[in-house]
Structure 1
């Protein structure tokens, strides 16, 4: 059999669209057979037009490079010949092949016909947990040489090696996984089925080594590693300063003594041993994480017990596991038995995945995600779905296969990653978890945190938000309609119709039963639609509280809704659920073995009935249970009704809920609450009170020494317009101008923090249209696709980059060193007055005769402001500027409160032009001169 020929192609062009006149400027083709490179072709192509500057910056190909190059027509015949009898391979075939076809057409040649392989599609399947699928990122991760990214010759070679690496990866997969990949690959966009088939044929002739694999109904999963018993080393706590210095100096590179870190260690050690409670505000620069890890680990080892460390985001949790705990192990010279625990929904339910995988009506995104999960299951030890990098459409499938409280399994099994994590925690010294998992223990039938000897609650201020998220209910019209659509009627081809046909064919369920079932279902849909129409009529009677031009919100208590109608929806839905469950029971009765294809239908039916039970609980919680401790509101977009209807119910005061969780713990264990932001000027107990922590619990405030912030300066731009006196358009123009000038002065590496997604989007669009930052990489939350952490990682890969963010970028984001030069605060981070939860809290305070601005709005904004500054200086060697564009910090009496919340650094109030010159000068002066300047200012 003749070896397959692959033609790996990469092109560089003047832009993204050949339809609008963009042309090729370079092409490279690598011919590969038997996974060896046989031939290469590369050439500059004269585009017949100037190369845009941003393309020259991206590719490093200039007009001078292509000046003497021939047009594509001169190479067309040879290129066409190279591609004959080959599989066309590219990293994004839609782009490269479409350009190439357009050039062939322009040269008067026929369209090239053949098979194609997109390495982006292939890599997504075979490396499903890669952080990025860009060629440069993949090359770095897989040790593939790529000296000059965005040059066709280097990119084509890298793509060829990537294809070979994918082939090697394919051959490591279990045979059953390969068979499943091949079976479903015919629904993909490119011809991966042939590659999978070749790998399958080869593997079938090899001896299978399944020693690291276990099987769940033909799905291959990586076998759990057996954890070796860790020898207990005797550890003693370093009580004196000299002992601490000796301990850390040996193992920490460039160690510098930090008295505040030692204070923190002693406070935690004292409270752990006294089983008492303490609040510790530890600013950036103290070394907070090592400050609590050293005493907690020693305490756990000495007492042969365990300490639980809880944090907020998955990023911080991963940082603890991958970086900080290994650092602590090195310092202490011992291994630490650590277990990571997350909430159920973070883990895959293998049983549900197996059911859904058998569906024949999957979309492209679902098919691709199924293939990713099949490969991932052969590699993962945790079953944590956050390890996967899937597309937006694939995320909907991921949500379907999450383990939930309603998932029904008869007993524990070895395929349950959640139960596996809980079992591992029994032998741990340290359990690392997140706040939501901890809060979930309140309602868990068998609490898993009842054998803990001490608690460290890191990012303690975020425990409040975690409690809100845990206790909130969200109703979405589109989600409900999607659920109705899954069942359907007997006259269409949805689940009810399919289930009814097999039940009648096997004479398992009477037709009259299905008539009653369908009658209830239709009635349920009618009542639901009537309820939605009543909500729309009622909300029209309410004066508009706008969020943007087309969005509207209203508290549910303001609407005159028909409670009897809402109750009827609940009653009819319960009747339908009872009948639907009964239908499944009748079908299964007295049958020892159900045909596999019928079993699949039955499992799908039971799955969607469980989903209806979840929705019923949601309906009753939102529409039928009144509770003054909750704020419930409706929001919609008038351009899309009823499709945009959402109803949210969130708790207003969480102190009682948090006390309920921690009061039993307080009797027997130490609780350490720590964060970089627990206090605001004039209100040290602002966060403590919201957490329900008693006033007698001491608060320790630790601030890094002044020299830690020697590389930081703050600027207030005092000639920005007042947003109250100019239009939003004019204000955004001023903001865009200020941002572009600052970014060019600092050469990028800039965070721009907004409080409004609408203003962020409009500012970014204006900057992009102006092309004033055309040579910078711009990443914008809510505009650029990807999660917060993916945006951050992309931002860090480029020196000339800007990241525009809203709420979640004000904190919990680490960019140490030269990765971040400036933070721009566009608006002081006050909550929007009409934001329903904030509004509800404000109303309660006002009813009590208290000042909602000074007791709620201002402290919250100052906390966010402190967190925003905390992004800038992450080590004593960092250097950066903190710039405020909101003039209220200077013109309003409360502005001084924001400035007092900053460390003791110099603050300059200047017009934009003067500030830009000042920053430029400051960045350019030599380090020694800067040190002298800072010393004089202090």
Structure 2
């Protein structure tokens, strides 16, 4: 089959750019036609056009023509594993296309030029991504990909043999485990010398950064007492340069002691920034790949076996197109990270997040050394590299999960940890103000329908599906051949797991036909939730206390308790039997078999501990066998998404999650630094340092150690009173969406974009967006919004950073994960005071940590974080506006000393914003 030359096709193809209410079509020769959405829809039904970002165009127009050619998809195919913002100007930046202005017409011309350049690249001499090019183009063309015929036409060949990426990836080699690190300290002078090397001889020497580096070096002092690590609490104001400040002593200690330092962050955005900063330390990419490793949870990485099985299944054309793009990316990816790595994040919105989730290890189905791709596995490569790396860039979630899976919480709340030689002895926690929340998630126990179903599938496999999900028997079968005891225990585990929720459990609960102990229990939980709340017609999730239980719930809890105890016993015996085989058959097992046995034994133990130390103690209370534990908060919750029930369960969290964090993470290390710009809570009426530091010690776990932490606060070098203004609008009704939207509109226009709108409720964000889209489009200010645009939060922030005059609406995820220096962020508007949500969990913590003072603490830290987004460097200017006239004065200590807070009317706030930001 022959294909026409792509140049001929592109010469006949125009570009379409869709705004919130209007759009333009631009012909290849530059003729422009502006149309409303209705007219645009009629046009694209009959003709093919170049577009950028199919989900965004589709949401704005209500549809996308089947002949549409998304230039982003072409970019992902031609330049796999390369970064590109999902915008026309993102394509221009990646392809070095000159941009004349920010008009829709210019964006259309960019799409035309980008398509021509990308098609030309694949036939250029020395094209750097040739592997699998023709084979994947053929496969994707056969699946109906609109770019396929153009690429095949450019290559002028249809002769292609089979090509699968898993056959072309390098293998890792097993190495001996490294010896434990030494304990040589890092001196102040040598740390400062390393800092000077990192920032460069000609760079400005900042005293505050040098002081911070000297403090960070103390993290690496040898501890004096067992279970009492050196802990450093360092509050570092924005602009100090804390990243290089702690990288300097951390890298030095790793070199001196042949050890590894884990640097943990809360957001993937900061992980990426840290990775970029390490180019200063390791300018040679080969050395950097060896010395610095990014680590995330298994669910972030591409599973090659999942990819193979999906590629060989009878999936529809959209899925086949995605498989082709994933194979192109996987061959050239740095580490196989699909969530925040070099994978094009916007592909999830293009082809569906559910499809992407099938490609990662999200259900714990890994078969380890039994997998044909084990020696090429991205996860295993990352693990092995991190053992010998100097610096591992991790995140709080991974550190907490590792700690949680190595700790058993007994019925009396005692924390028991097991030594793990793979865990580091030195940690640096950046974004340390998030440790409390990260620990809260990691050390919680959730006995829900979805959690129960996941465990059942892990044990019994996919009972009603052709998908892999082989279950425990499929993973163990070969390893226990001839071992009657192990096989008997395995069958007992599989049999007793029938007590757990099965596929379709939620529909049976709604229909009133639950089956088995777990579903009967959840049905009673759901009954109590509806009986104790006014939630039947509500849109949002609902919750209620578990005690006193409705009639029948106590009995149902007892039945499930008995069933789970019957499941725990054979699981415990089976994992012990597998470990015993390792000992008894040491002279017969090869390395692959040993790895599989050990991994499966550990997996069984971890899941058994979730049941034994999590679910069973919870049910003991509900069944009346034990009293509630004051260290925990228990509640029932029915979770809804978009007004639809998605899960129901029984939940338990620590009142103070910093307690298990201290016991499992801090005490297992020898030195830990916890740093952030917002560790302390500054009180207006009390400037006692001990009082202000108390917050940081309680929320980071340092208060649970005998030895006091080293602590120091270093002020930002910025002149906040000169660089910023704070206004509280006191003459509008913040509950009126029309008034609220008008305030956002006029403030955004006064700032000429570069504006961030923060909201405490998604419904308010949606309402304001609907009223803002048209006016801002007319003013030429691009508007983006979390929960509306089909773009993930990290990419939205990247877009906002790049598009200087844009506006962004978001909630707390945007507030916490944003670093936008320069004029791209010059105005921050908050709809109302961000008080904590009055959940049952918050109620218990409020009681434990000081009542109203605890509410104020949380709110001040949120305000401090929001204001901190504005001023990121010496030349920045910014205005912070609170649209809540009832903002209490006691919260204003969240802002830097010396910055005047003015309570004024909306009109005056708009005028002063415009005047301040227009000053040169």
The TM-score range, normalised by the shorter chain, is 0.7 to 0.9
In the alignment, which residue of structure 1 is the partner of 2:878?
Answer: 880
In the alignment, which residue of structure 2 is the partner of 1:684?
Answer: 693
Asked if residue 703 in structure 1 is aligned to residue 715 in structure 2, the reply is: yes
TM-score, L = length of structure 1: 0.71
Shift of 1:775: 2.8
Shift of 1:878: 0.9
Mean Cα displacement is larger for which, 236-245 or 742-751?
236-245
In the alignment, which residue of structure 2 is the partner of 1:318?
Answer: 272
Relative to structure 1, is the Cα distance of residues 670 and 94 closer, same or farther in structure 2, using a 3 angstrom cutoff?
Answer: closer
Q: Which of residues 863, 866, 870 is equivalent to 1:865?
A: 863
TM-score, L = length of structure 2: 0.72
In the alignment, which residue of structure 1 is the partner of 2:356?
Answer: 398
In the alignment, which residue of structure 2 is the partner of 1:239?
Answer: 189
Equivalent residues, number:
785
In the alignment, which residue of structure 2 is the partner of 1:69?
Answer: none
Provide the C-alpha distance between the structure 2 equivalents of 1:546 and 1:116, rounded to a whole number of angstroms: 43
Asked if residue 764 in structure 1 is aligned to residue 769 in structure 2, the reply is: yes
Relative to structure 1, is the Cα distance of residues 271 and 914 closer, same or farther in structure 2, using a 3 angstrom cutoff?
Answer: same
Asked if residue 379 in structure 1 is aligned to residue 332 in structure 2, the reply is: yes
- Correspondence 1:681-830 to 2 at 5 A: 681-682=682-683, 683-694=692-703, 696-705=708-717, 707=719, 710-721=722-733, 728=735, 730=736, 732-768=737-773, 775-830=780-835
Shift of 1:183: 4.0
Relative to structure 1, is the Cα distance of residues 650 and 299 closer, same or farther in structure 2, using a 3 angstrom cutoff?
Answer: same
Q: What CA deviation, in whole Å up to 9, does each residue of 1:635-694 have, x standing for no partner? A: 24599675564665433321221121245445xx33222111111124321131122213
Asked if residue 259 in structure 1 is aligned to residue 260 in structure 2, the reply is: no
Q: What CA deviation, in whole Å up to 9, does each residue of 1:416-435 have, x standing for no partner? A: 32332232234333232222
Relative to structure 1, is the Cα distance of residues 407 and 742 closer, same or farther in structure 2, using a 3 angstrom cutoff?
Answer: same
In the alignment, which residue of structure 1 is the partner of 2:143?
Answer: 187
Asked if residue 562 in structure 1 is aligned to residue 520 in structure 2, the reply is: no
Provide the C-alpha distance between the structure 1 equivalents of 2:356 and 2:328, rounded to a whole number of angstroms: 14
Q: What CA deviation, in whole Å up to 9, does each residue of 1:363-396 have, x standing for no partner? A: 4554333222211221123122223222245422
Provide the C-alpha distance between the structure 2 equivalents of 1:196 and 1:547, rounded to a whole number of angstroms: 54
Asked if residue 280 in structure 1 is aligned to residue 229 in structure 2, the reply is: no
Asked if residue 447 in structure 1 is aligned to residue 445 in structure 2, the reply is: no
Relative to structure 1, is the Cα distance of residues 154 and 522 closer, same or farther in structure 2, using a 3 angstrom cutoff?
Answer: closer
Relative to structure 1, is the Cα distance of residues 355 and 572 closer, same or farther in structure 2, using a 3 angstrom cutoff?
Answer: farther
Higher relative contact order (CA closer than 8 Å, sequence separation 6+): 2
Q: Which of residues 596, 615, 633 is equivalent to 2:636?
A: 633
Asked if residue 220 in structure 1 is aligned to residue 168 in structure 2, the reply is: yes
Q: Is the 8 A contact 1:551 1:635 kept in 2?
A: yes
Q: What CA deviation, in whole Å up to 9, does each residue of 1:896-938 have, x standing for no partner? A: 342354242233222221222223222333x4xxxxxxxxxxx
- Correspondence 1:50-199 to 2 at 5 A: 90-91=50-51, 118-127=70-79, 129=81, 130-144=83-97, 150-151=105-106, 152=108, 155-165=111-121, 178-179=134-135, 182-183=138-139, 185-190=141-146, 192=148, 195=151
Shift of 1:815: 0.7
> What are the ranges of 5 or more consecutive residues in structure 2 without an aligned counterpart?
59-64, 176-183, 224-229, 407-417, 472-490, 506-514, 575-599, 622-628, 684-691
In the alignment, which residue of structure 2 is the partner of 1:408?
Answer: 367
Q: Is the 8 A contact 2:728 2:902 kept in 1?
A: yes
Asked if residue 465 in structure 1 is aligned to residue 418 in structure 2, the reply is: no
Shift of 1:236: 9.3
Q: Is the 8 A contact 1:307 1:455 kept in 2?
A: yes
In the alignment, which residue of structure 2 is the partner of 1:5?
Answer: 5
Rg comparison, structure with higher value: 1
Shift of 1:863: 0.8
SS of alignment partner, residue 150 of structure 1: helix
Q: Is the 8 A contact 1:633 1:649 kept in 2?
A: no
Shift of 1:318: 1.3
In the alignment, which residue of structure 2 is the partner of 1:624?
Answer: 619
Relative to structure 1, is the Cα distance of residues 642 and 460 closer, same or farther in structure 2, using a 3 angstrom cutoff?
Answer: closer
Mean Cα displacement is larger for which, 858-867 or 678-687?
678-687
Q: What CA deviation, in whole Å up to 9, does each residue of 1:199-235 have, x standing for no partner? A: 5946759xx9x9xxxx88x5432567999xxxxxx99
SS of alignment partner, residue 817 of structure 1: coil
Provide the C-alpha distance between the structure 2 equivalents of 1:180 and 1:702, rounded to a whole number of angstroms: 54
> What are the ranges of 5 or more consecutive residues in structure 1 without an aligned counterpart?
29-40, 59-71, 99-111, 228-233, 500-512, 583-606, 846-850, 928-938
Asked if residue 655 in structure 1 is aligned to residue 647 in structure 2, the reply is: no
Relative to structure 1, is the Cα distance of residues 167 and 688 closer, same or farther in structure 2, using a 3 angstrom cutoff?
Answer: farther
Q: What CA deviation, in whole Å up to 9, does each residue of 1:465-494 have, x standing for no partner? A: 222222345566579889999999999986
Query: Root-mean-square deviation (CA), in Å?
Result: 5.3
SS of alignment partner, residue 553 of structure 1: strand
SS of alignment partner, residue 716 of structure 2: coil
Shift of 1:624: 3.5
In the alignment, which residue of structure 2 is the partner of 1:417?
Answer: 378
Q: Is the 8 A contact 1:123 1:133 kept in 2?
A: no
In the alignment, which residue of structure 2 is the partner of 1:935?
Answer: none
In the alignment, which residue of structure 2 is the partner of 1:852?
Answer: 851
Relative to structure 1, is the Cα distance of residues 329 and 903 closer, same or farther in structure 2, using a 3 angstrom cutoff?
Answer: farther
Q: What CA deviation, in whole Å up to 9, does each residue of 1:69-103 have, x standing for no partner? A: xxx9xxx9xxx9xx9xxxx67336999999xxxxx
Relative to structure 1, is the Cα distance of residues 375 and 456 closer, same or farther in structure 2, using a 3 angstrom cutoff?
Answer: same
Provide the C-alpha distance between the structure 2 equivalents of 1:712 and 1:520, rounded to a whole number of angstroms: 61
Provide the C-alpha distance between the structure 2 equivalents of 1:494 and 1:742, rounded to a whole number of angstroms: 55
In the alignment, which residue of structure 2 is the partner of 1:327?
Answer: 280
Mean Cα displacement is larger for which, 901-910 or 570-579?
570-579
